[in-house]
Amino acid sequence: MKINILHITPDFNLNCGRSKYVFRLLKYFEKHQNFDLHFITNGGDALYKLNELTNCKIKYLDFGRGIKNIFNIYRNVKEFKDYCISNNINIIHTHHRYPEYVASLIKKKLKIKTVSSALSSVEGFKRLSFKSDLIVACSESLKKNLVDVFGIEENKVKVLHHCIEPFPEISDDDRNSFIKKINLKTGEKIILFVGRITHIKGYDVIFEACRKLRISGVPFRLVMMGSLIDRKSRDIFREDFVTYIKPNEKYYCMYDLADVIVIPSRVDPYPLVMLEAALFAKPIISSDIPGITEFVKENETGFLVPAGNAELLARKIKFVLDNDELSTFIGYRAREQALNHHSCNKFFNQIEKFYIELVS
């Protein structure tokens, strides 16, 4: 008998780690003969990617993120419940706290198992959060947070680091297109930031670090690629050393061009950007925070700086740019680590095992 699985996530966007995570799951399980796949989302700039799915039933419903959802909860419970009944859903796998809460209400009325992906550090709403039968956390630090802060039973939380797949081959035309897009001048080094441009991701820290770096005389261009969330961030793009790129299909070309990738997050349990950068064997400078340090080890697979310290970040960037041989060596160490320990086959096999155990 096939297992009917419903995935639910809001805001299906191009440069969103959660969306990439969900899309990989959908692409794998739609081809699996033991599962029938369903997906509900509310929209996003990457919806066209869903056209690649040929064996997945897709539905769009009006739900979002944040406290405003409380006013829609009764409608969403009915919509999700009706969908589950009409499609004989066995497992609901959610990837955000709001649909996870709705799923927890549904499972009380229907004989449905629930799984939740924990991909970011959150706080508040303790009584309403993480009620799923199984929680898949992306890092050990995130599991610790769920157990210590939210009081989740330890045996309900399984740690499964992100998996990573090789990117398509980059053509000279694509490479030259991005060089033109960022207005790169001769001799400039590329410092790359990828992700949502928000305070928690530390966009202000890398900007301030690069302002300090200018004094050193190093020619560089700071490329910031991601969704503009914080309106205050728009002011920094007026600086002549900063280039902003909107989320796009071939964003990975910038990893190939970059000299160093910086992840200055204040909180980030296990960013996918970290593994994507490693695939290109590029040196990574990241905040010394829980989660990230499960992959980035100082002078082994990358470089670490205290979160929020622009002065030390500027010094570390200069050190990396001035030491090509060491940076290249460490970049390849990170690539080896990513390829050896973040296999998608192992990841999917484990998820499949979780599903089967839940319905057995």
Q: What is the pLDDT of residues 267-313, one digit of tens each?
A: 999 999 999 999 999 999 999 999 999 999 999 999 999 999 999 99
Using DSSP's 3-state secondary structure scheme, residue 150 falls into: coil
Q: Quick one: DSSP state of residue 56?
A: E
- Report the distance separating Cα 232 and Cα 335, nearest Å: 35
Q: Give the β-pairing of 284-287 and 260-263.
A: parallel
The answer to whether residues 130 and 176 belong to one domain is no
Give residue 180's pLDDT.
Answer: 93
The answer to whether residues 74 and 196 belong to one domain is no
Measured N-to-C along each axis, helices 272-279 and 17-29 cross at an angle, to the nearest 10 degrees, of 70
**pLDDT for residue 8 is more than 60:** yes
The answer to whether residues 331 and 211 belong to one domain is yes
The answer to whether residues 307 and 355 belong to one domain is no
Backbone angles phi, psi at 24, to 5 degrees: -65, -40
Strand partners for 58: 39
The answer to whether residues 203 and 319 belong to one domain is yes
Q: What is the pLDDT of residues 134-178, one digit of tens each?
A: 999 999 999 999 999 999 999 999 999 999 999 999 999 999 999
Domains held by the chain: number: 2
Range of the domain at 214: 172-341
Range of weakest confidence among 75-84, 123-132, 285-294: 123-132
- Report the distance separating Cα 109 and Cα 70, nearest Å: 20
Give residue 137's pLDDT.
Answer: 98
Q: What is the pLDDT of residues 309-350, one digit of tens each?
A: 999 999 999 999 999 999 999 999 999 999 999 999 999 999
Give residue 108's pLDDT.
Answer: 81
The answer to whether residues 135 and 210 belong to one domain is no
The answer to whether residues 277 and 313 belong to one domain is yes
Give residue 109's pLDDT.
Answer: 86
The answer to whether residues 113 and 19 belong to one domain is yes
Q: Which is more confidently placed, 356 or 123? A: 356
**pLDDT for residue 127 is more than 70:** yes
CATH number of the domain that residue 19 is part of: 3.40.50.2000
The answer to whether residues 184 and 272 belong to one domain is yes
